[in-house]
Structure 1
Amino acid sequence: MTVSRVVELEGHIIDSGMMGAAFGIVMDMGGSFEVDEFEIGRSKTEGSYARLTVFADTEDDLQPIVHELHGIGANPADPRDATLAPAPADRVVPKGFYSTTNHPTDVRYEGEWLPVERVEMDCAIVVDPEAEGGPRAYTKVLNAVEAGDLVVTAEAGVRVRPPERPRGDGSPFGFMQGGVSAERPSESTIAKIAESIREVKEEGGTVLAVCGPALIHSGAREALARLVREGYVDMLSAGNGFAVHDLEHDLYGTSLGMDTETLDHPRKGHKHHIYTISEIIRVGSIREAVESGLVESGVMYECVRNDVPFVLAGSIRDDGPLPDTITDAIEAQNAIREQAHEADMVLLLSTLLHSVAVGNCLPSTTRVVCVDINPATVTQLLDRGSAQAVGMVTDIGTFVPILAEHVIYGGRE
């Protein structure tokens, strides 16, 4: 005797590989399937539809298969209302709670589909039946769950909608244009990324730059500062080190004691890092350092002068840290999460840890650019689930200045 479940796949399920992925999941997990209905889109923009019956020996065998299928957008053909259970305590979810993907998601409540707000991966979905304006569904991270929250359990009544990926998209974010390559024509890819940044800005969107200290070390400081000054970077996320090295360059002309132009190490240059932190603490904050005239250039300077909000998330290895650095991990996560949900495009620039932190908060519909000299870093970040991502393995000191030229001048002086 076997048990079965009927699921549906809709959209560009062939171009995006969704259908093949569904077949692979069923077979790899010991199940079987029958294709009950299959309608193929006849143009680049027309979607396809498939209806599958999935079989397994027992309900316990079937459930994990259905769970994996659900994560790629194969939804039950006979949707029911979602099952809700109250959280038994603060920061405790009911057993069997539904853990979100980063794809657009809907929850069925009293026969109506509610769009899940603030989608990100690995969260609980809370339904508020008494919200102003009608029932709402939204994500909550574990540390924000409160006793009594109505949390969605299991996959019933949950619909996942992976972003469409039709053929013919000429942007770097189009189907099969993402991925990692050190051999892809860099100039043309950077030009397309620059075009996407301009499109986002023209449409009133926001660009978030997530930056590592290597950007300062490699000589890209002035180019990024220019992008901030010209209005192409709306938010900045970084660590204590990035800000310290940027400020050090203004105060002493070095980054971690090294002259980034001559590559020389000035006498006593190793002290510049600590001197910089001390001077910023002395005046009170980065903003006060800029407004007092102590700091007169750089990325942090342009952020202050152009009211570009920044989040500096601390770590256990930080020197100082700067007064603006958030040292409470939960507070830092929440600040990063606010930026991530506001961003329409994110530039992950040579920083693994901060990029992972931001990437975990992003819905799959957000455009992501990841640049690092290490191929493993780019692969790890792009594998975190974004459907619109492009990765480049290149020197960040080369990438950012070329990008700035293309964004501001279209590649021409």
Structure 2
Amino acid sequence: MTVSREVELQGHIIDSGMMQTCFGVIMDMGGSFEVEEFDIGRHEDERSYAKLLVSADDEEQLQSIVHELHQNGANPADPNDAHLEPAPADQVVPKGFYSTTNHPTEIRYDGEWIDVEDIEMDCAVVVEDGENPYAYTKVLNAVEEGDLIVTGEAGIRVSPPERPRGSEGAFGFMQGGVSSERPSETTIANIAEAIEETKSEGGKVLAVCGPALIHSGAREDLARLVREGYIDMISAGNGFAVHDIERDLYGTSLGMDTESLDHPRKGHKHHIYTISEVIREGGIEEAVESGTIESGVMYECVDNDRPFVLAGSIRDDGPLPDTITDAVEAQDAIREQAHEADMVLMLSTMLHSVAVGNCLPSTTRVVCVDINPATVTQLLDRGSAQAVGMVTDIGTFVPLLAEEVLDEE
């Protein structure tokens, strides 16, 4: 005896591939389906609708299929309210709690749909009861005893970003995936236009930076973008900041002159000397204010009041006093930045980009640039529908981007 459930798909379900994906999920998981209703949008701006009757051999199999469909934007045709259970203890969630995607999500509460705020992947949904109830995400280590946690799949509506035909404007190009063959100058011009549009709309641009950016000689151009207000926030590691400051103090990055490519005598000690000087001053801000640091990305962040997060790792030398060495504290700082960002530039750093990417909703515009194609693919596969990847040298990309943005002012 089979069991069945009706699910709905709405929006640009054909152009986005949502319908094809859902059909594949059902068949791959051993289920079957019938299309009960299908209303096709006849114009580029019209939405489509489909209702499917999904069948499986037993309830457990059906539940598994419906769960996967739900992650891809198919929702129950006749939803109930979301089921809530209190957290039994701090950092402990009820069994069967709903683990979020990074797509815009709503929950049904007291017969009404309410948005889940600060959506990101792999979180619990907490509901605050009261006259004006609201829902938001919490990472597991932030859950407190008594928090009302959404469990199961009922009363949850996920809306993956759509890709309608004829997407135009500054962000229309940000749906093409990864290509090392896409014309670089055209793509960089499009990215520059996207940055300018983000800023003109009052949005914020976050740059996630790796040390290779300094080694490759792109430091001054990134500093210009920070100084002129096209980059509002920096997320990086201890190494990025150390090498940026080393370039100011000693003219080297990890002991190498980034202009002549020479290795000065005792240059290999410059990075640790740099850390020592900043520790002596008490921190990066203090070193800028005293005149010890006079140029570079970190200098421009302090001088122009652009916030930065330096998240530490087990391999850091020093580290700098500004580096956050507690992993959970660093995650919280990264999360706060990510929630403020409207556009993110991931510049030649896989680990920090993954950390930031984990905190981003799928609607955030993302640009990922790395010389390694596997890095770009891995980052973009994490779920942003408004993303573009470039496989190129970061030392070429940043100066060209700065030229496009700054020389057209």
- Using the size of structure 1 for normalisation, the TM-score is 0.98
Aligned to 2:11: 11
Write out per-residue CA displacement over residues 93-146 of structure 1, whole angstroms, 9 at most, x where no aligned residue. Answer: 11110000001100101001110000000000011103xx61010000000011
Distance 1:170 1:246 in 2: 38
Aligned to 1:314: 312
Aligned to 1:222: 220
Alignment partner for residue 328 of structure 1, among 326, 329, 353? 326
Per-residue deviation at 1:166? 0.9
1:122 aligns with 2:122: yes
Distance 2:287 2:383 in 1: 39
Change (3 A) 1:216 1:326: same
Per-residue deviation at 1:175? 7.3
Alignment partner for residue 251 of structure 2, among 250, 253, 256? 253
Aligned to 1:242: 240
- Structure 1 unpaired stretches of 5+: none
CA contact (8 A) 2:170 2:193 kept: no
Aligned to 1:151: 149
Aligned to 1:196: 194
Aligned to 2:365: 367
Q: Which sits farther off after the overlay, 168-177 or 206-215? A: 168-177
CA contact (8 A) 2:370 2:376 kept: yes
Partner amino acid, structure 2, of 1:136: Y
Distance 1:167 1:192 in 2: 19
Aligned to 1:167: 165
Distance 1:175 1:24 in 2: 27
Alignment partner for residue 393 of structure 1, among 391, 394, 399? 391
CA contact (8 A) 1:171 1:192 kept: no
Structure 1 consecutive aligned stretches of length 4 or more whose deviation exceeds 2 Å: 170-178
Aligned to 1:96: 96
1:61 aligns with 2:58: no
Per-residue deviation at 1:163? 1.4
Write out per-residue CA displacement over residues 37-89 of structure 1, whole angstroms, 9 at most, x where no aligned residue. Answer: 11111111111111101000000000110000000110000011000011111
Aligned to 2:268: 270
CA contact (8 A) 1:129 1:135 kept: yes
**SS of 2:181 mapped into structure 1:** coil
CA contact (8 A) 1:165 1:174 kept: no
**SS of 1:200 mapped into structure 2:** helix
**SS of 2:91 mapped into structure 1:** coil
Per-residue deviation at 1:211? 0.2
Q: Give me the CA root mean square deviation.
A: 1.1
Per-residue deviation at 1:325? 0.2
**SS of 1:385 mapped into structure 2:** coil
CA contact (8 A) 1:210 1:348 kept: yes
CA contact (8 A) 2:170 2:197 kept: no
Per-residue deviation at 1:171? 5.0
**SS of 1:84 mapped into structure 2:** strand
CA contact (8 A) 1:80 1:156 kept: yes
**SS of 2:136 mapped into structure 1:** strand
Aligned to 1:106: 106
- Using the size of structure 2 for normalisation, the TM-score is 0.98
Distance 1:24 1:171 in 2: 32
Distance 1:90 1:255 in 2: 45
Per-residue deviation at 1:165? 1.3
Aligned to 2:356: 358
Distance 2:41 2:301 in 1: 47
Distance 1:19 1:87 in 2: 36
**SS of 2:279 mapped into structure 1:** helix
- What percent of counterpart residues are identical? 80
Per-residue deviation at 1:170? 3.3
Distance 2:92 2:32 in 1: 36
Distance 1:172 1:185 in 2: 16
Partner amino acid, structure 1, of 2:61: D
**SS of 2:244 mapped into structure 1:** helix
Partner amino acid, structure 2, of 1:301: Y
- Structure 2 unpaired stretches of 5+: none
Aligned to 1:294: 292
Per-residue deviation at 1:397? 0.3
Aligned to 1:379: 377
Per-residue deviation at 1:155? 1.0
CA contact (8 A) 2:84 2:148 kept: yes
Partner amino acid, structure 2, of 1:327: T
CA contact (8 A) 2:33 2:54 kept: yes
Distance 1:241 1:276 in 2: 11
Alignment partner for residue 348 of structure 1, among 343, 346, 353? 346
